[in-house]
Amino acid sequence: MKDSIYFTVEERAFFERIIDDGLMQDGRRGVYWWIVRIAIARSLQESDEPDERYKAMPKSPSELHLEQITGRAKEPDYDDAFALLLSLRRDEDLFENHDLYVEVLQRHARRGMELLHESWLPGTSFHDVLLDSLYFRPSVDDDHSTNKGDVQFDILKKGLQQIGVDANPIGEPISGPRLSRHRLTLGGVEDYDRLRRGLEDLAFAIGLGTGTIAFGREPGERRVVLDIPRPSGAWRDVPWPPLVEAFMSSDAALAVCPGVDVIGEPVVFDFVEAPHMFVAGATGSGKSVCMNAILLSMLASDNPPELLMIDPKGVDFAEYDGLKLLRGEKVVTEMGAAVVMLRAVVEEMDARQERLREFGARNIAEARAAGSPMRRLVVVVDELADFLMSRTGAEEPLVRIAQKARAVGIHLLLATQRPEAATFPGLLRANIPSRIALTVQKSSDSRIILDESGAEDLMMRGDMLIKLAGRPLLRAHGARVDVADVKRAVAAANSRHT
Ligand SMILES: Nc1ncnc2c1ncn2[C@@H]1O[C@H](COP(=O)(O)OP(=O)(O)OP(=O)(O)O)[C@@H](O)[C@H]1O
């Protein structure tokens, strides 16, 4: 019977750092399992289950036993409590399957370690990180007053002096969900160029470990803004439900809200104007969560579109199965079937054109105003790269839809984790002007998505750059859409629309 949980050598080294620098226990042995328990608690804060990555046996394992972690067969013994908690969470009886129980515990422990690693910088207080991440999950509703992760102006001022820039603050910094905005008046015109060129040195001078400082002008004499990232332990998540109201009042034909801007204001745009969108980011960047925010925005509309969803991986959108507004009420996971359905959409464009003529309308909005029940259709393709590489002839119908479908109310929402020239080919690119880039590995990936670099400096977890036709590039932080939000939205849509 399994009773060990394994960690990599690096994870073991991280235990040591937490013990020595974080908890300040003078390297006393015997507290490893405290950290493992903290890590499990941290992982349980996430709404999803830790994936296979955390299951694999590390090459050079360091081992802890259930006896140490849950106190199994010792005093006090929390083993049953752990098993019950995980069984309830997974809706699965782990008392019946001991090996699975140990594996699930290992996955949570290792993911929790990774999350702690992301949010704690040695040299800062580990206790603060714990308080923030385990007890408080402040949301974007909180007021925008100074946050403890903000760089104070005296530190910023010293950094500015080191790069030879004279500046004075205008008011207090504004704490957005992840960045703090400092508004400044520069001493002289020459300071502008010095600041622009010295941003990296400034980041170094004020001790910024990761992330880059963004810089922009604002109206007023010699006024600029600096957006400075906070450590991830001081980020505030952006929950989904409060955002819904913000975009319901929008007069857009199909309002979509993927998240909030740097200072926490909802970002809302009209998908009809988009009229197609390409979303890309490296694995784990928050692409699925971002797609969910877009889709839930659409479902919340008084006049939601019909959806056709294609997901070759078949895992990320399972909660949409059974949605009455979903064509076939099922996400299409088989690529051959998906191509057949896309070709049918191409034919449907002609039929829709015919119906527009019957109503004497030039587009779907006019047809609906004249009494046509025609709904918009949004064709969603996740993992576009896999789909196009499968050589099933998927590109041709997608290009035709991208070129022609706007007037008849058919829109594309395409996503990929592999933004490469071959997987976002020329004809699609040319016809899909609206793009969202989540974090990518290289600036060349960013250029494929946005036609400019920048997305390689984003900070994961839904951090994004949005490019809409004719508008300047916008930095945004994605709403944290949970599985429960999706289930609620699907149930609500099913009760409102048939
Ligand atoms: N807006 C957000 N706010 C907070 N956390 C987020 C947000 N978006 C994503 N995350 C975190 O990042 C994790 C990965 O997100 P997601 O599954 O959407 O990534 P992905 O890019 O779709 O990954 P993959 O391509 O591997 O499926 C989530 O489990 C969540 O913990």
Query: Is the beta carbon of 461 within 6 A of some atom in ligand 1?
Result: yes
- Tokens standing for 78? 């929390």
pLDDT digits (tens, 9 = 90+) for 458-490: 989 999 999 998 888 999 999 999 999 999 999
With tokens 């910023």, the residue in question is 156
Predicted local confidence at residue 145, as pLDDT = 44
pLDDT digits (tens, 9 = 90+) for 40-65: 999 998 888 998 888 877 666 788 88
Cα within 13 Å of Cα(449), Cβ side = 32
User: Alpha-carbon distance 184 to 151, whole Å?
Assistant: 14
Q: Is 286 annotated as a binding residue?
A: yes
Query: Is the beta carbon of 287 within 6 A of some atom in ligand 1?
Result: yes
With tokens 């974080």, the residue in question is 22
Query: Is the beta carbon of 285 within 6 A of some atom in ligand 1?
Result: yes
Positions in the chain short of pLDDT 70: 24-30, 58-60, 121-125, 132, 135-149, 209
Q: H/E/C letters for each residue in 400-442?
A: HHHHHCCCCCEEEEEEECCCCHHHCCHHHHHHCCEEEEECCCC
Angle at CA 162, nearest 5°, toward 156 and 168?
A: 45
How far does the centroid of ligand 1 lie from the alpha carbon of residue 210, in Å? 19
97 contact partners, CB below 8 Å, separation of at least 6: none
- DSSP class per residue in 111-138: HHHHHHHHH--BTB-HHHHHIIIII---
Report the atom number in ligand 1 closest to the C-alpha of 48: 29
User: Alpha-carbon distance 246 to 276, whole Å?
Assistant: 23
Predicted local confidence at residue 123, as pLDDT = 61
Predicted local confidence at residue 142, as pLDDT = 43
Q: Is 167 annotated as a binding residue?
A: no
How far does the centroid of ligand 1 lie from the alpha carbon of residue 224, in Å? 32
How far does the centroid of ligand 1 lie from the alpha carbon of residue 274, in Å? 24
Q: How many CB atoms lie within 10 A of CB 93?
A: 12
User: Alpha-carbon distance 423 to 332, whole Å?
Assistant: 20
Q: How many CB atoms lie within 10 A of CB 333?
A: 17
Predicted local confidence at residue 144, as pLDDT = 42
Q: What percent of the residues of the chain are helix, what percent strand, and what percent coil, each to the nearest 5?
A: 45, 20, 40
What letter would DSSP give residue 158? H
330 contact partners, CB below 8 Å, separation of at least 6: 321, 322
Query: Is the beta carbon of 418 within 6 A of some atom in ligand 1?
Result: no
Q: Tell me which H or E stretch contains 225.
A: strand 223-229
Q: Tell me which H or E stretch contains 465.
A: strand 463-467
Q: Residues 113, 39: contact at Cβ < 8 Å? A: yes
Predicted local confidence at residue 14, as pLDDT = 84
Query: Is the beta carbon of 288 within 6 A of some atom in ligand 1?
Result: yes
* 44, 51, 178, 288: residue to mutate for ligand 1 pocket, most atoms within 8 A of CB: 288
User: Alpha-carbon distance 73 to 75, whole Å?
Assistant: 7
- Tokens standing for 33? 């399992």
What spatial distance separates the first Cα and last Cα of the chain, rounded to whole Å? 51
Predicted local confidence at residue 83, as pLDDT = 94
Strand partners, 261: 476
Q: Residues 301, 254: contact at Cβ < 8 Å? A: yes
- The sign of the torsion formed by the CA atoms of 465, 295, 241, 118 equals negative
Predicted local confidence at residue 321, as pLDDT = 95
User: Alpha-carbon distance 78 to 177, whole Å?
Assistant: 36
Report the atom number in ligand 1 closest to the C-alpha of 259: 1
